[in-house]
Chains A and B, each alone.
Chain A
Amino acid sequence: MMEMVSRPYARAFEAFAAGNPDILCLSADLTSSCEVDGFRDRHPDQFLSLGMAEQNMMSFAGGLGLAGYRPFIHTFGVFMYRRPYDQLMASIAYPRRKVRLMGFLPGVTTPGGMTHQSIEDISVMRSIPNMTILETGDATEVESICEAADSIDGPVWCRVLRGSVPRLFDTPIRVGEMRELSSGDDILVVTSGICTEEAMRARSALARAGLSIRHLHLHTIKPFDAQALLDHIGSVRHGVITLENHVTEGGVGSLVAETMADAGAGKRLIRLGLKDTYAHGGSRAYLMRHYGLDALALVEGIEDLTGQAFGITEGDLDAARVDDVHSLVKAEAL
C-alpha cells in the first residue's frame, strides 16, 4: 500500500521559510488553497497579501527581488502566466529576479475546468529565457521543492502538488538530474508529475507481458541534461514513449522529441498527453482516463510502439488510489 502524505507543502514551506527574513510568502487570495494559511497565521511578518490582482503581484515581486528578497508566489499555476504574462516577462524573467513561482493545480489535477487547468504552462516557460522549470511528482519532491527552487540564481517555475500526495521516492529533488526508476532495455518511458505514478502502476503488468521497461522521471525540465537522455535512448531496443499532464506540444514530449531530432536519434517516439485539446471539469481519475493520461493509456501507447497487443486491461494494473474530490485534505472544492 502506497504511503499517502497529507499537505506536504504546508509543512515543507514553513520549515524552509520561517525565520529567513529574505524569503517572503506572497499570495493572491488563494492562501489556504495553496496550503500557506498556517504560515500566514504563524509568520505574518513574512506574508504579503496582494489580493486578486496578479498583474501587480508579478511586477511587485520583481520590485521585491530588486530589493534583495526572494519572494515565493503562491497561487494556481494558471493564474501566474496567462493574464500576467507580460509582467512575468518584463518584471521577473528578463531581469532574472529570484522569484519562486509556486504554481498549484498543474494540468488536470483540478476539477475547475479550462480556466483553472494549466495545460500549456511548461510549453510557455520552456520558451522564456532565464526560466528554470521544476515539477513535483510525489510527496518527497513536494517536500524538497522549496529548497530546490531557492537554490536557483534566477526565476523558477514550479508545478506543485497539494492535498494528499503519494510518496514514491526517498531522495529529494537534485536540480538538473533525472530519476532512473527502472533500467530495462526494450522501451524507454519518460514521465513527469502525476504521470509517473501512472507509469509505476503499469510496471508489473508490463513485466508479466515480458517487456523490459526503462523508466525515467523528470523533476527538472529546464535546464535539461540532453546527453543523459540520449544515453538512455541508446540503451533500449524499440523506442521512446512520453506521458505528461500537459499538452503534447512544448512539454516533456516535445523536449524529448527535440533532443532526439537534434542528435539524429533514429528511434520511434510516441508522445502521450493532452492532444491539442482543452480539458473540462471532473475528477482527476476521470480526466486522466478520458484524455489518455493514465496507466492504461501508457500500455496502449506501448502496444502501438511495439506492434504487439498484450491484452492488458484496467484490472491487470496496480490499484489506483481513489481521491475524494471533497476530502478534508483539500482546502476547498477547487
Chain B
Amino acid sequence: MRNERTTEEVALGIRRRVFEHSMRNNGGYLSQACSAGEQLAWLYNEELKLGAPTLPMIPKPFEGVPSPSNPDYHTGAGYNGPAAPEFDRLFIAPAHYALVAYATLIEVGRMAPEGLEMFNKDGSSVEMIGAEHSPGMEVHNGTLGIGLSTGAGLAWGRKRRGEPGRTWVFMSDGEVQEGQTWEAVQAAAFHGIDNLYAIMDVNDQQCDGAMSSVMEVGDIKTKFRTFGAVCVEIDGHDVQAMRDAVAEPHEGRPLIILARTSPYRTMPILEERFPRLHYVRFKSEDERARMNVSIAADLGVEPVDYSH
C-alpha cells in the first residue's frame, strides 16, 4: 500500500478533500490541512510501518462507548492495521485535526471516500473531534496535552515486551502550553523511552489566534532538549527534511521533530482570516465564493459546486 504515489501527491490529495468538504459544509479545519498535509502524508505514505486495515472501508455507525455491557466495543485503530508487535502505532494528539486525518486515510487507501460524508453527522463514528472509536484513532485526545504521555506509557510497555514497533504521536504546538507535555518529556527521557517519536505541527496558531498573542512559549526546541528529548527542527513542508530528521540518532531519548509550517500553505487566500484560523467558517456567501475560486485554482481543481 506504500509508495504508489509520492508523498507530495498524497498531501495535495488531503488538501483537496479537506477543501471540498469545507466548501460543501460552509467551513472546516482548512488551515490544519495547510499546515499538516505533508506530515500526515509522510507518516502514512512512507514512514509508518502499518498492517492492512482490519475495519470496513466504509465506517460503521457509532456503536456505543466502552462499558461492561458493550463487549463488542473496539476503537478506530483498525484503520491503521492490527496492533501487532512489529507494527508502528500512531496517536493524533490534537483530535481536532481529525478531518485532516480522515482525509489522509482515504488518500492512502485505508478508508473509503464515503467515510468523509459521515463527518460530524449524528450517529456517525466519524466524529468532528476524533474519538477513540473514530477511524484511525486509538485513544481520546480531545483534551490537549494527554497524547504524548499515553504514547510514552505505551512505548515503555512495548519496549519492555521487546516489540520492535514504534509509537508515534502527531502533536500540535499549542500543546506545549500544557504542563503535562513537559511532564511527559521528562518522564520519557528519564526512562529512556527511545521508541517514542513525535512530530509536531508548529504552525504558531491556536484557537484564539497567533500563539504569540495568546501565550508566548519561547524557544521550544531548546526547551525540549533541556527536558531530555532529542529535538530536530525542520521545514514542515519539506518531505526530504522529514526523512532526514527521523534518521537523527536518539538512543535512550525520545525523538521530537518540530515541523515549522504555514497555516495557509497552498491556500494563500486564507491569510485574509488571520489570526482566526482554527476553524474557518465562511462569514458570507461572497467570502465563500471567493475562497472557492481561489483555493480551487491553487489546488488545481474545479471550484466546488456546493449549491445542492
Verify A96–B153 contact, CB threshold 8 A: no
Q: Which of A49-57, A256-264, A299-307 contacts B (4 or more CB under 8 A)?
A: A49-57
A302 vs B191: C-alpha distance in the bound complex, in angstroms? 55
Verify B155–A63 contact, CB threshold 8 A: yes
Residues in chain B near residue A62, CB distance under 8 A: 139, 149-150, 153
Verify B157–A55 contact, CB threshold 8 A: no
Encode contact with A along B52-67: 1 for CB under 8 Å, 0 otherwise: 0000000000000111
Whether a CB of chain B sits under 8 angstroms from the CB of A48 is yes
Verify A59–B149 contact, CB threshold 8 A: yes
Q: Which of B181-189, B285-293, B296-304 contacts A (4 or more CB under 8 A)?
A: B181-189
Residues in chain B near residue A225, CB distance under 8 A: none
Verify A91–B150 contact, CB threshold 8 A: yes
Q: Which of A64-72, A194-202, A235-243, A283-291 contacts B (4 or more CB under 8 A)?
A: A64-72
Interface residues of A in 84-102 (CB under 8 A from B): 86-87, 90-91, 94-96
Q: Looking at the assembled complex, report how far the CB atom of B230 sits from the nearest CB atom of chain A, in whole angstroms.
A: 19
A62 vs B138: C-alpha distance in the bound complex, in angstroms? 12
**Given contact pairs A60-B153, A67-B154, A90 touches B186 in the complex (Cβ within 8 A):** no
**Given contact pairs A56-B149, A62-B150, A66-B139, A94 touches B65 in the complex (Cβ within 8 A):** yes
- Interface size for A (C-beta < 8 A) is 31
A96 vs B66: C-alpha distance in the bound complex, in angstroms? 7
Verify B66–A59 contact, CB threshold 8 A: no
Q: Looking at the assembled complex, report how far the CB atom of B48 sits from the nearest CB atom of chain A, in whole angstroms.
A: 17
Residues in chain A near residue B190, CB distance under 8 A: 49, 51
Q: Looking at the assembled complex, report how far the CB atom of B167 sits from the nearest CB atom of chain A, in whole angstroms.
A: 8
Whether a CB of chain B sits under 8 angstroms from the CB of A130 is yes
Whether a CB of chain A sits under 8 angstroms from the CB of B198 is no
Whether a CB of chain A sits under 8 angstroms from the CB of B294 is no
Residues in chain A near residue B142, CB distance under 8 A: 90
Whether a CB of chain A sits under 8 angstroms from the CB of B156 is yes
A61 vs B157: C-alpha distance in the bound complex, in angstroms? 10
Q: Looking at the assembled complex, report how far the CB atom of A209 sits from the nearest CB atom of chain B, in whole angstroms.
A: 45
Verify A153–B68 contact, CB threshold 8 A: yes
Verify B151–A51 contact, CB threshold 8 A: no
Q: Looking at the assembled complex, report how far the CB atom of B229 sits from the nearest CB atom of chain A, in whole angstroms.
A: 14
- Interface size for B (C-beta < 8 A) is 33
Residues in chain B near residue A68, CB distance under 8 A: 157, 161
Encode contact with B along A27-42: 1 for CB under 8 Å, 0 otherwise: 0000000000000000
- B65, B138, B152, B154: which has the most chain A beta carbons within 10 Å? B154
Q: Looking at the assembled complex, report how far the CB atom of A63 sits from the nearest CB atom of chain B, in whole angstroms.
A: 2
Verify B180–A87 contact, CB threshold 8 A: yes
A328 vs B190: C-alpha distance in the bound complex, in angstroms? 33
- B65, B143, B150, B157: which has the most chain A beta carbons within 10 Å? B150
A66 vs B68: C-alpha distance in the bound complex, in angstroms? 17
Verify B150–A53 contact, CB threshold 8 A: no
Residues in chain B near residue A51, CB distance under 8 A: 183, 186-187, 190
Chain A residue with Cβ nearest B152: A60
- A56, A62, A87, A153: which has the most chain B beta carbons within 10 Å? A56
Q: Looking at the assembled complex, report how far the CB atom of B219 sits from the nearest CB atom of chain A, in whole angstroms.
A: 22
Verify A53–B186 contact, CB threshold 8 A: yes
A191 vs B104: C-alpha distance in the bound complex, in angstroms? 56
Verify B183–A53 contact, CB threshold 8 A: yes
Verify B154–A59 contact, CB threshold 8 A: no
Verify B183–A55 contact, CB threshold 8 A: yes
Whether a CB of chain A sits under 8 angstroms from the CB of B24 is no
Q: Looking at the assembled complex, report how far the CB atom of A67 sits from the nearest CB atom of chain B, in whole angstroms.
A: 3
Verify B149–A67 contact, CB threshold 8 A: no
Query: Would you mind naming 21 contact pairs between A and B with Cβ atoms under 8 Å apart?
Result: A51-B183, A51-B186, A51-B190, A55-B179, A55-B180, A56-B184, A58-B149, A59-B180, A60-B150, A62-B149, A62-B153, A63-B154, A67-B157, A67-B158, A68-B157, A87-B180, A90-B139, A90-B141, A91-B140, A96-B66, A129-B65
Given contacts A56-B183, A67-B158, A90-B141, 14 further A-B contacts (CB under 8 A): A53-B187, A59-B146, A59-B150, A60-B152, A62-B149, A66-B150, A67-B153, A67-B156, A94-B66, A94-B132, A94-B140, A96-B67, A130-B66, A154-B68
The 8 closest A-B pairs by CB, nearest first: A63-B153, A67-B157, A59-B149, A56-B183, A60-B153, A53-B183, A63-B154, A63-B150
